Amino acid sequence: MGNTKVLAIHLPAFHRIPENDEWWGEGFTEWDNVKSGKKYYNNHYQPVVPLNNNYYDLSNINDIKYQFDLANKYDIYGFIFYHYWFGNGEMIFEKPVELILNDNAIQGHYCFCWANESWMATWHGQNNRVLKEQKYPGKNDWEAHFMYLLKFFKDERYIKEDNKPMLYIYKPCEIPDYNEMLEYFNNRLIDEGFSGIYVVEYISSKNKLESGSPYAKAVMEFEPLYTTFFDISKLNLFKRLVCKKLNLIDYQSYDKLWKYKLKRTRTYNGKIIQKSCFVAWDNSSRKGKNSMIVKNSSPEKFKKYLTQLINTKRVDSLNDYLVINAWNEWSEGAYLEPDNRYYYSYLEAIKSSLENNNEDCL
C-alpha cells in the first residue's frame, strides 16, 4: 500500500438518541435527512440510497464491525470519529465508539475529531435556534474531558504518531485558553506514559488561521469548504454570498475545485500539512435550496485526482496521512460507502490509487 495511510472522517449519528427524539420526532436518525433528498435538476442523484437499502444502525455492533471490515478490504487505514463533548460531561453519539472500545474483535484503527461547536436548527430552512450549546467550563472540565479520552488513547487501535495520541480539533479558534488546555493534555499524557499529544487542526471557513500552540503539530485543510472559501475567485465568492442571501443553490464544479486543490502551495508556519480531499458534495437533503452542490463528480474523476494528490509533494507535507471527507456523510453527499448508483466504485478508486502509488515507488 505504500506509505500513505488513508483516514476517512466518520459520522456516528446513524442511531437513535433521546435528543433527536425531542428535536425532530420519535425515532429520528440521520437516515431521515438522507431519505428526504429531492431532485433539483436533470440527472440529479437524490435521494441517495445505500447499497441494498443498508440503512444501518450504529448502536448495533455488527453494523460497526462491517464498516471496519469494509474499510480494511479497501486499504483504508482508519476512521476519524466525530466526538461531541459539549462541556460538563455532556456528549451525544458516543455509543458507537464505546462499543468499539469494548470489543477487541474489531480490527482497525481510529481516532477522534473534537467537533466543538453548538448544534443549531438549520436543516430544511429552519431558523438558527440553539439545540445544544457548546460550552467551555474551564480547567475542571479539561480533566473530565481528558479522563474520558484517556481510555480510548490507551487502546492499541487508537492512532498515535510518535507515541502521541492523535486528536483533530474542528474549531481551535473558539476554545478559550486553547494553548494552556493543550499543554495540560500534553502533560497529563506524559504522566500516563505517552510522549504527549499530537493535535491536528482543521482549517476551513470556520477556522481560518492555525493557532500559535506548539502542541498543534499539524493542520488539515477541510474539503471542499476550504477550497470554496480560500481558493475560488472573488467573483465566485460573491456568487456564493448572493446564493445564500437569496436562498438559491450554490453550484460548484468538481473539476475546478480539485484543480485548485492540486495546485495549492500554501504553508502554515512550518506546521505539517496532512493531505486531504473530498469524495463529492451535495448537502441539499439537509438544507434544501440553501445548499451547495458540487456537480459532475464521479468515481473515475475521484480516482484520477486522488492519484495525483497522493503523488503531489507539498512543502511541509512531511507525514503519511491522507484525510478523506468522508466515510458516511450521506446528507452532504460526501461518502465512500457503497450506494445503489456507484456500488463500490469509490472504495475501489482508493485501493487502486494506493496500489498505483506503491508501484511507482518500487
Note the pLDDT tens digit of each residue in 208-228: 776 678 889 999 999 999 998
DSSP states of 102-155: T-TT--SEEEEEE--S-EEE-GGG---EEEE------HHHHHHHHHHHHHHHTS
Q: Which residues contact 345 (CB under 8 A, 6 or more apart)?
A: 299
Note the pLDDT tens digit of each residue in 344-358: 999 999 999 999 875
Tell me phi and psi for residue 172, to 5 degrees.
-55, -30
Q: Which range, 1-10, 245-254, 338-347, has the best average confidence (pLDDT)?
A: 338-347
What is the structure's pLDDT at 313? 80
At residue 205 the predicted structure's pLDDT band, cuts being 50, 70 and 90, is confident
Whether this model's pTM surpasses 0.85: yes
Average pLDDT, the chain: 92
Note the pLDDT tens digit of each residue in 102-144: 999 999 999 999 999 999 887 655 667 899 999 999 999 999 9
The residue-averaged pLDDT of 298-307 equals: 98
Q: Please state, for a pLDDT cut of 70, what percent of the chain lies above it.
A: 94
Q: Is the peptide bond before 137 cis (omega within 30 degrees of 0)?
A: no
Q: Would you give the distance in Å from CA 307 to the centre of its chain?
A: 20
By mean pLDDT, which of 63-67, 123-127, 199-203, 316-320 is the weakest? Answer: 123-127
Q: Please state, for a pLDDT cut of 90, what percent of the chain lies above it.
A: 80
Q: Which range, 125-129, 268-272, 290-294, 316-320, has the best average confidence (pLDDT)?
A: 290-294
Alpha-carbon span 352 to 74, nearest angstrom: 9
What is the structure's pLDDT at 56? 98
Alpha-carbon span 228 to 330, nearest angstrom: 20
Note the pLDDT tens digit of each residue in 304-346: 999 999 998 876 765 689 999 999 999 999 999 999 999 999 9
Whether residue 292 contacts residue 250, with contact meaning beta carbons closer than 8 Å, is answered with: yes
Whether residue 288 contacts residue 338, with contact meaning beta carbons closer than 8 Å, is answered with: no
The residue-averaged pLDDT of 2-30 equals: 94
What is the structure's pLDDT at 235? 64
At residue 362 the predicted structure's pLDDT band, cuts being 50, 70 and 90, is very low
What is the structure's pLDDT at 242? 82
**Nine cell digits for residue 269:** 508556519
Q: Which residues contact 98 (CB under 8 A, 6 or more apart)?
A: none
Q: Would you give the distance in Å from CA 222 to the centre of its chain?
A: 8
- Classified as helix, coil or strand, 50 is strand
Q: Which residues contact 300 (CB under 8 A, 6 or more apart)?
A: 349
Between these two residues, 230 and 274, which has the higher pLDDT value?
274
